[in-house]
Chain A
Amino acid sequence: MKYIFVLLFVLSTFITEAQDLFTVSKSNIEFTSDAPLELIKASSNEVSGALKTIDRTFVFRMAIKSFEGFNSSLQKTHFNENYMESDKYPNAIFVGKIIEEINFKTSGIHEIRAKGSFTCHGIKQERIIKCKLKISPDKINVSSKFTVLLEDHNIKIPTVVSQKIAEEIVVFVNLDLASRK
């Protein structure tokens, strides 16, 4: 009995090996902290990731240190040193599955929900993030806007600067995925 399960499991991994895979070819990720006294923006184009169309699973990862922008280089230093502790927690990772069963074979635009675990500052959160998928032959464009609560990821803001850093960070993502055959 249990050999059947093991066999099924082994087989399933083989099956997933042979499917269509899309990987990030171009990326832009931006965040905004809109606090009463200060607006902070930073962006990066160093997102890597993959989407398996057969089971609609995906993984995206970015290096926190790659964020550029900010209002000053001191701010960037504080971002990495004091808030994100990016030497200790170098990446933000989102891994999961698309809820909607969509057809990746035909071109079109879909509003989908991506469900999975979002890890940032070492804290994992289960999230459902709404995204827009634009499917064209051999290419998928993903765009999304979502928020991250600092509290959810144990990022502490001292009261002196609480007027300068928003508690809720808005993140904009735009990714181009290309098919790998």
Chain B
Amino acid sequence: MSKSILIILSLIVGINSLKAQELLALLDSIQPPENKTYYTDATFKSIRLINGYTSETAAKNELVFSISHRFGNINQGIYDWFGLDQSTIRFGFEYGLSDRIDLGFGRSNFEKLYDGFVKIKLARQSSRKKNFPFTITLLEGIAIKSVRWANKERDYPFSARMYYIHELFIARKLTQRLSIQLSPVVIHRNIVQTKNEPNTVGAIGVGARFKITNRLTTVCEYFYPFSEYINDNYSNSLALGIEIETGGHVFQIHASNSTGMTEKAFIPETRGKWSKGDIGFGFNIIRVFNFNKNKIK
């Protein structure tokens, strides 16, 4: 008898939870979830990884403002307050013309460099209806070195100040936490410092981010210039950092052996060596300003 009561009870309890399952199954059979294309969001927290950029672009009518600082090397000791006495700075602006195209401008006190670029999202990682594994962004940029020539006697043309950057960012958000990026880049310099340096440099960059929490991320970035292009005076740029996101700001704090903040400066011209302690601290503060008109007041 007690057995049958148990069966009745389990049936009553069972029916209720079964009902929900059954209803969901019914829903799936008659109205399957709409097969739409979902584009992957937030592969990286911002437009910048550390020194280099990411596959992210500024969204339409949004202005991304970044202030970047790079300090001197920590191996300079207490006299230079472990490098904090020296600082290199860059102000950068990026404005989204559409969700896939943005224009950028920057000014750095490193060689008094001006830089301008356009970033175009050629393809977006997506799932469901349209499946594509990567986000691919193209960057086409120029940089102008405006520092006065050391040798004032020589008559350099203006074009001698120009640098050209062509870079591709191939990124994939592997999981919610982990994103990786590969960035082949070609840099052309109209003038180089010594005769045995080539004008055109090819390199490949690797970057990754790992989210510890929703608002705290670790990032790393490495650039490998193909050896025939750079000589022993230069080393490969390696940077490690953390990112903290607070609403509209992203703070990036990192350590790196590069001082420059434009591709022209940190890919072929990094002089610091991690092994010798030529490591400098740096940070980027990135703020997004929204100029969308449909904002609710």
Contact = CB atoms under 8 A, between A and B. Distances in A.
A48 B11 contact: no
Contact of A93 (B24, B41, B248): B24
A40 B15 CA distance: 40
B296 A41 contact: yes
Contact of A48 (B31, B36, B248): B31
Contact of B23 (A57, A77, A82): A57
Interface string B266-297: 00000000000000000000001010100111
B19 to A, nearest CB: 6
Nearest to B21: A95
A26 interface: no
A57 B19 contact: yes
Contacts of B8: 5
A59 B24 CA distance: 7
B7 A161 contact: no
Interface residues of A, number: 47
A9 B23 contact: no
A37 to B, nearest CB: 11
A9 B245 CA distance: 54
Contact of B246 (A72, A74, A160): A160
A59 B4 contact: no
Interface in A61-88: 61, 63, 65-66, 71-74, 76-78, 80-82, 85, 87-88
A117 interface: yes
A24 interface: yes
B26 A81 contact: no
Contacts of A61: 24, 27, 33
Interface string A19-32: 00101100000000
A59 B248 contact: no
Contacts of A95: 19-20, 23-24
Given A73-B60, A77-B42, A180 B30 contact: yes
B247 A160 contact: yes
Q: Which of A39, A61, A85, A164 has the most CB of B within 10 A?
A: A61
B264 to A, nearest CB: 29
A59 B23 contact: yes
Report the 6 A-B pairs with minimum CB-CB distance, sorted nearest first: A73-B59, A59-B23, A48-B31, A72-B290, A82-B214, A161-B247
Interface of A: 1-2, 5, 9, 13, 21, 23-24, 39-41, 46, 48-50, 52, 57-59, 61, 63, 65-66, 71-74, 76-78, 80-82, 85, 87-88, 91, 93, 95-96, 116-117, 158, 160-161, 164, 180
27 contacts: A2-B3, A2-B4, A5-B11, A9-B15, A21-B30, A39-B297, A40-B296, A48-B31, A48-B34, A49-B27, A50-B27, A50-B30, A59-B26, A65-B38, A66-B36, A72-B59, A72-B295, A78-B247, A80-B42, A81-B214, A82-B215, A87-B176, A95-B20, A96-B20, A158-B246, A161-B247, A180-B30
